[in-house]
Chain A
């Protein structure tokens, strides 16, 4: 394992300290329990948005704390859910009295820990559970689809509504709507190494890819031989389209996300190839996002997210945002 680290025990702390210092105009990091808030207090009457999850997916979620998006983020250990004491401490700090909306990715550990926090919390709170990963079959008898990159889209759009005075109930409803309108699928070329583990999470051959991979390198639909970028992109989009069923002339957001180890050069190439295919189907790309937003440490790979847009969603997507990882309109 080659990583920039001094010791596995201090890995997260030092990274958080660096993040807090580098973006002190936007965020403030709190320790024991660990959580990240905006540098300025929540304004009176604004619903507070809190997300969180295992570390190793940066910039999600700490990099999405700031004006127009999250009020707080709770980072767990690498690839391990945060704990209720973190959410409770964060909620206490950022709740202005208008309530707290938890945005949770559908992974068992995250769901259980956020649920316990919600049970222990005194004030009004709601949760949005994201489950955009179409690689996994959904069923009421299973854990169901994973929450992956569309969580970033949910946080942006709901963040805008909260900033513009949306009630707790309205924010929850919009979050559910964005999630329902989104589908994602990823592919990995290489594995990733959790610092404490010291060795790769899974083995994968030089000529192989994991199709439908999750954001911790957990397996997806199948192990395939490598293919051309256009073929891979087509297959990802076909899987998403099959689920999301965008109609001809429907407007969508095309989000090409990097997993951490794939250069932007390739992500833009994927964007080009995705546009080729969507153009053929007359699906209109009206908004775009390309970059490393929902990563899996140093994993080589990419995911594509499509979100079906309407006027309301476009308005909130376009509105100003000022976070460490996303900034426009300011």
Chain B
């Protein structure tokens, strides 16, 4: 994984998120306050605009710049949570000596764990953690079992989708949807949907590379 890869993937994510923006906005208006899609779009745009600043940086510095940009540029829960994800990944052990796929999975899993602590949310609370935690576990398991990288990533794409759909019938206990009680049931969580789209894009861009 290189800094170039991060930037190129962010560009691909931008296309996918824009293609699905009205769906995500609608999901958020059903059970949130409608700002999630704008926050995500703003965050991705800011990361892409960092290209000239970070393209020649070492991995830890590039990730840290992305973290600070996401944190200060997005606001809301998304900013704090994605900022925490990248900030933790930037602290990954020896990442400046090269990031192979095992290393990438290791630092992603550490990032997801930090996000879980920050948001105090676990699987089953109708949040993006219903996508991120199962995906992180699936990736780690794949590495432990010494599976082929593309197989692992294909599985992660499926796990992400399953996690996203699982939020539909859940009662929200974290975030703004929690104020709805029973009324949130029957709606997919917008954060789970945007996270799933991002995971899918990242995995597929590696699979097809």
A54 to B76, CA, bound (A): 8
Return the CB mask of A135-163 against B: 1 if under 8 Å, else 0. Answer: 11100011100100000000000000000
Known contacts A76-B76, A83-B72, A113-B75; decide if A218 and B174 are in contact (CB<8 Å).
no
Question: Quick check: A219 and B183 within 8 Å, CB to CB?
Answer: yes
Docked-complex contact A216 and B33, CB < 8 angstroms: yes
Which of B33, B72, B83 interacts with A218 by CB under 8 Å?
B33
Residues of A16-45 at the interface with B, using a CB-CB cut-off of 8 Å, are: 33
User: Is there a chain A Cβ closer than 8 Å to B34's Cβ?
Assistant: yes
**In the complex, A146→B177 CA distance in Å?**
12
In Å, the complex CA distance between A220 and B119 comes to: 22
Please state if A83 and B74 are interface contacts (CB–CB under 8 Å): yes
Total residues of chain B contacting the partner, CB 8 A = 33
Residue numbers in B under 8 Å from A219 (CB-CB): 179-180, 183
Q: Binary interface profile of A, 214-227, with partner B (CB < 8 Å = 1, else 0)?
A: 10111110000000
B112 interface residue (CB < 8 Å to A): no
By the criterion CB–CB under 8 Å, are B29 and A80 in contact? no
Q: For B39, list chain A residues within 8 Å (CB).
A: 80
Q: Which of B73, B74, B173 contacts A143 (CB 8 A)?
A: B173
* CB under 8 Å from chain A, chain B span 91-147: 118-119
> Which residue on chain B has the smallest CB distance to residue A144?
B178
Report the minimal beta-carbon distance from B32 to chain A, rounded to whole angstroms.
7
What is the interface size of chain A, counting residues whose CB is below 8 A from a CB of the partner? Answer: 38
Q: How far is the CA of A194 from the CA of B32 in the complex (A)?
A: 13
> In the complex, A25 Cα to B73 Cα: how many Å?
30
Indicate if the CB atoms of B75 and A81 lie closer than 8 Å: yes
A238 interface residue per 8 A CB criterion? no
A298 at the binding interface (Cβ < 8 Å)? no
How many pairs, one residue from A and one from B, have CB atoms within 8 Å of each other in the complex? 105
Q: A33-B72, A85-B72, A143-B174 are in contact. Are A112 and B33 (CB under 8 A)?
A: no
Bound Cα distance from A86 to B71, whole angstroms: 11
Q: Are B119 and A142 in contact (CB under 8 A)?
A: no
Contact A108 B33 (CB under 8 A): no
Q: Are A220 and B118 in touch, CB under 8 angstroms?
A: no
- Contact among A81, A196, A217, A220 for B38, CB-based, below 8 A: A196
Are A112 and B173 touching (Cβ within 8 A)? no
Contact A201 B34 (CB under 8 A): yes
* B72 and A143 within 8 A (CB): no
Q: A143-B174, A197-B34 are in contact. Are A83 and B25 (CB under 8 A)?
A: no
Q: Is A293 part of the binding interface, using a Cβ–Cβ cutoff of 8 Å?
A: no
Question: Is B178 within 8 A of A194, CB to CB?
Answer: no
Q: Does B80 contact A (CB under 8 A)?
A: yes
A84 within 8 A of B: yes
Contacts of B180 in A (CB 8 A): 218-219
* Chain B residues, CB < 8 A from A76: 75-76
- Asked whether A11 is an interface residue with its Cβ less than 8 Å from the other chain, the reply is no
- As a 0/1 sequence over residues 63 to 79 of chain A, the CB contacts with chain B under 8 angstroms (1 = contact) are 00000000000001111
Q: How far is the CA of A146 from the CA of B209 in the complex (A)?
A: 46
A218 touches B179 (CB 8 A): yes
Decide yes or no: A84 and B71 within 8 Å by CB, A116-B80, A146-B179, A219-B180 being known contacts. yes
Residues of A within 8 A of B76 (CB): 54, 76-77, 80-81, 109, 113
A–B complex contacts, Cβ < 8 Å, 9 sampled = A54-B75, A84-B72, A109-B75, A109-B80, A113-B76, A115-B80, A142-B174, A197-B25, A218-B33
Known: A83-B71, A219-B180. 5 other contacts (CB 8 A): A79-B35, A85-B71, A112-B119, A202-B29, A216-B33
